[in-house]
Amino acid sequence: MSAGQPPFDSPEIRRLTPVIGPGHTYGSVTDKISAIVLTRPTSLGWYVGFLIAFSIMGMMTVAIGWLIIKGTGIWGINIPIGWGFAIVNFVWWIGIGHAGTLISAILFLLNQKWRTSINRFAEAMTLFAVACAGIFPLIHTGRPWLAFYMFPYPSTMGLWPQFRSPLIWDVFAVSTYGTVSLMFWFVGLIPDLATLRDRSVRKPLKIIYGMLSLGWRGSARHWHRYQSAYLLLAGLATPLVLSVHTVVSFDFAIAIVPGWHTTIFPPYFVAGAIYSGFAMVLTIAIPLRKAYDLEDFITMRHLDNMAKVMLSTGLIVAYGYFFEFFLSLYSGNKFDVFLVQQRLHGPYAPFYFALILCNILLPQLLWSYKMRHNVAALFLMSIVVNIGMWLERFVIVVISLTRDFVPSAWGRYSPTFWDWATFIGTIGMFVTLLFLFVRVLPAISIAEMRELVAETSEEEK
């Protein structure tokens, strides 16, 4: 399928839209991808973007510094709304952090070829998102310097964490998730690090990449074990991904607060996580393929598939909303019923409707083929979904707390400057890490691309 192939949009050819551009050999793949890191000069755009992101991250460090000096009182939280932006952002980031491992693991198990070119940076994105998420549970405590109490260590008082608390489940789930994702990512990187080692001309680079590649030499024996280990990791990561957001949803589902205490949460939190995760992958992939003209590796097929995944998970989420709504009314529990009414016409109703718009209504546009193949539109859509998912967490966390059991204790919440500074700051941190990643590591798995080349060439025969 090299020359004279029909244009993409001719219907009969659609499903054949390739996952890799035409005419690539092992060498060309290797060159093109490793070049981004090794030979290609760092563009001015990279420097500018990096500086902006880095300064935003600086704002975060200032906000956190002030927080540690003054206390959580600098935020908008109060009694009864004990959790505000910190937890909203935590859940949001964790959700985003789901796409990477999901793409790598589940799609790998399902043997989805098209995953190959996006899994690497998707995984990286996962790690960075988890890093951002991890900040919040730590700093949202009143005494962050004592947060280590939440880890099981032999204290002089012989005290241990309280394992009935969903927050402790969080600690284990998130740290496990972080660790496994990191290993998964690194294991995938080893052969490519070897490639970089072999292709880099400058001595220091050679040494650094050499160290990182652990002396990988592509021995068949190694590949043999490597593959089974990778497969197992994928197999382990899959239930892990599902469990993490389930556990996060327990933070709410286990509590008795109206609007939190519901069994529908785990599935629809997971769906929501994948939803936002894919949205974020798109948000990153689209500029990335443009900036480093990787259109051959991240083809329309990828974008199209991710859009479809978004659409489907979006529908699951919609179903979740509906059922949450229905169940509260059906249960006849006066507190739940009241809360539903509050969502619809309480003080925070606009947020709820904005959420419906961003997460349910607008994404329906993805049914259209044109929409899915309009890169700019997809990009905007991914942003919309990201916003929508953030609103969902805001609605869940805040509205329920403002209207719980005893009316005398009802209150309201509004974020302060420091809430915003911390939130936007983490976005800065996220982008900063991404910039570094694309600069020093292959954003696409070279080894797997070679495999792909091999297979596609076989197909051609």
Looking at residues 222 to 261 of the shown chain, list those that interact with other proteins (rule: CB under 8 A): 222-229, 232-233, 236-237, 239-240, 243, 247, 250-251, 254-257
Interface stretch with other proteins, choices 36-44, 218-226, 312-320, 387-395 (CB under 8 A): 218-226
CB 283 within 8 A of CB 314: no
Q: Does 37 bind other proteins (CB under 8 A)?
A: no
Pick 30 or 382: Cβ nearer other proteins: 30
Given the structure tokens 């090299």, which residue do they identify?
2
Output the smallest distance, CB 207 to other proteins, in A: 9
Q: Identify which of residues 244 and 433 has a Cβ nearer to other proteins in the complex.
A: 244
Q: How far apart are CA 384 and CA 445, in angstroms?
A: 29
* Residue the block writes with tokens 């899915």: 372
* Binding residue (CB under 8 A) for other proteins from 21, 49, 54, 78: 78
How many residues sit close enough to other proteins to count as binding (CB under 8 A)?
109
For residue 290, state whether it binds other proteins (rule: CB under 8 A).
no
CA distance 81 to 71: 16
What are the angstrom distances between the C-alpha of 53 and each of 142, 426, 428?
28, 10, 5
* 448 scored as a contact of other proteins (CB under 8 A): yes
User: Please, what is the minimum distance in Å from the beta carbon of residue 352 to other proteins?
Assistant: 16
67 within 8 A of 249, measured Cβ to Cβ: no
Q: What gap in Å lies between CA 274 and CA 254, rounded to an integer?
A: 22
The verdict on 66 binding other proteins (CB under 8 A) reads: no
Q: Which residues contact 106 (CB under 8 A, 6 or more apart)?
A: 234, 238, 241
**C-beta neighbour count of 264 within 10 angstroms:** 19
- Using the contact rule CB under 8 A, the part of the chain among 79-87, 107-115, 321-329, 422-430 near other proteins is 79-87
Per-residue CA distances from 48 to 9, 45, 51, 101, 143 (Å): 36, 5, 5, 30, 37
For 178, the token pair is 């972080």
Residue 77 interacts with other proteins (CB under 8 A)? Answer: yes
DSSP letters, 316-348, are HHHHHHHHHHHHHHHH--HHHHHHHHHHHHSTT
Site membership for other proteins, residue 117 (CB under 8 A): no
Residue 355 as a binder of other proteins (CB under 8 A): the answer is no
The verdict on whether omega for the bond into residue 350 sits within 30 degrees of 0, i.e. cis, is: no
436 binds other proteins (CB under 8 A): no
List binders of other proteins among 382-411 (CB under 8 A). Answer: 401-402, 404-411
The minimum distance between CB 420 and other proteins, in angstroms, equals 14
Give the list of residues 6+ apart from residue 162 with CB closer than 8 angstroms, or none. 168
Q: Which of residues 148-207 bind other proteins (CB under 8 A)?
A: 149-150, 152, 158-169, 171-173, 176, 179-180, 183-184, 187, 191, 194-195, 197-199
Give the Cα separation of 384 and 359 in Å (integer): 8
String of DSSP letters for 26-75? HHHHHHHHHHHHTTSPPPHHHHHHHHHHHHHHHHHHHHHHHHHHH-GGGS
Residue of 142, 204, 332, 350 that binds other proteins (CB under 8 A): 142
Asked if 73 is part of the footprint of other proteins (rule: CB under 8 A), the reply reads yes
Tokens standing for 160?
A: 């241990």
Using the 8-state DSSP alphabet, how is residue 368 labeled? S
Interface residue with other proteins, options 55, 219, 263, 331 (CB under 8 A)? 219
In terms of CB distance, is 6 or 73 closer to other proteins?
73
- In the complex, the smallest distance separating the C-beta of residue 205 from other proteins, rounded to whole angstroms, is 14
Q: Which of residues 323-352 bind other proteins (CB under 8 A)?
A: 334-335, 338, 347
**Closest distance to other proteins from the beta carbon of 203 (Å):** 14
Phi first, then psi, for residue 443 (nearest 5°) are -70, -15
- The least CB distance from residue 217 to other proteins, in Å, is 6
**Least distance from C-beta 424 to other proteins, angstroms?**
20
Among 6, 22, 23, 27, binds other proteins (CB under 8 A): 27
Contact window for other proteins (CB under 8 A) among 3-11, 51-59, 121-129, 136-144: 136-144
Residue whose CB is less far from other proteins, 86 or 310 = 86
Question: Whole-angstrom Cα distance, residue 184 to residue 189?
Answer: 9
218 part of the interface to other proteins, by CB under 8 A: yes
Instruction: Tell me: does residue 82 bind other proteins (CB under 8 A).
Output: yes
For residue 113, state whether it binds other proteins (rule: CB under 8 A): no
DSSP 165: S
The DSSP letter of residue 378 is H
Compute the least distance from the CB of residue 223 to other proteins, in Å.
Answer: 4
Which one among 36, 38, 72, 385 touches other proteins, defined by CB under 8 A? Answer: 72
**Residue found by looking up tokens 């948000």 in the block:** 283
Q: For other proteins, which is the closer residue by CB, 56 or 77? A: 77
